[in-house]
Every structure is written in structure tokens, then in C-alpha cells.
Amino acid sequence: MFSFRSSRASCLHPRAGGFTLIELMITVAVVAILAAVAVPSYQDQVRKSRRAQAKADLVEYAQMAERFHTVNNTYAGYALGSTQSPREGGTAWYTLGIQQTQSTFTITATPKGNQAKDKCGTMTLNQASVKTPAESKVSGCW
């Protein structure tokens, strides 16, 4: 049997596939919440990797200072190979400096730019392998 009414109703109101505005807004909200969580976490991991490079540079320069001391019997006169970290080039995220006397030295890595937001801040290493910030104050720095 042919029903004119049901045939005509289906022609007037075809079922369109797609998303409603509400569904789209819910999706946008979910993506925004995920981004709000993911972006700060990503930035912390980037800062952590930059900090690791600065720590490696501090330790390497401390070893070089010890070699200098072995040959010259003094730390006075030792100079860092570079005043930035990373040493290889690119964007410098830390400024390196050294203060030394005949029997002591302290190498400092001072964060700059976006790295200044790092929880560890300025890091130092001296001839006795004393590192700051200390683990008791800020965990995960060394």
C-alpha cells in the first residue's frame, strides 16, 4: 500500500547528518580543558630538559676546574669555556658564571627568558660538590 502522507512527511523533513551547535560546543570545551592541563605540563618538561643541560654544563666545568687545579695548584685563573648554556649554540636559557679564589670556586647557572619560571631558579656547584638549591628546599633540581 502506498501512503501519500508518510511519503510526503519524509520529503519535507529529511534527516540531515551532522552536529548540533550544543555538541560542537561540548567538544570545544573538552578540548580546551585538555589543553589547559597539557600545555603547562609540557612547558614544565621543556624547562626540566633545559635544566638538565645546565646541570651537565655545571658538572663538566667543575671537572675542568679540578683538572686546572691539579696542574696549577690553584683555581685562580680558570675560565669557563662558555658563558651560556647550552654551549653548543641555539637559544641560551642559562647564563654561566664563576667566582674563584686560590682554593675555592663556585660555578653559577642563572636562568633567563622563559626558563626563569623554573622552580629551581639559580643553580650553583662548588669545589666540594655542594649543589644549590639543596634537595631539602626544592626537590628534583639535582
Per residue in 8-47, pLDDT tens? 555 565 666 788 899 999 999 999 999 999 998 999 999 9
CB atoms within 10 A of CB 118: 22
Rounded Cα distance between 130 and 140, Å, is 15
Rounded Cα distance between 136 and 116, Å, is 21
Strands 123-126 and 131-132: antiparallel
Mean pLDDT value of segment 106-127: 94
Is residue 2's pLDDT more than 80?
A: no
Question: Under a CB-based contact definition with an 8 Å cutoff, are residues 85 and 106 in contact?
Answer: no
Write down the pLDDT at residue 45: 92
Amino acid at position 128, single letter: A
The residue with greater pLDDT, 115 or 19, is 115
Burial of 128 (0-12, 13-18, 19+ CB in 10 A): exposed
The model scores a pTM over 0.85: no
Q: pLDDT tens for residues 80-106?
A: 999 999 888 788 999 999 999 999 999
CB atoms within 10 A of CB 120: 21
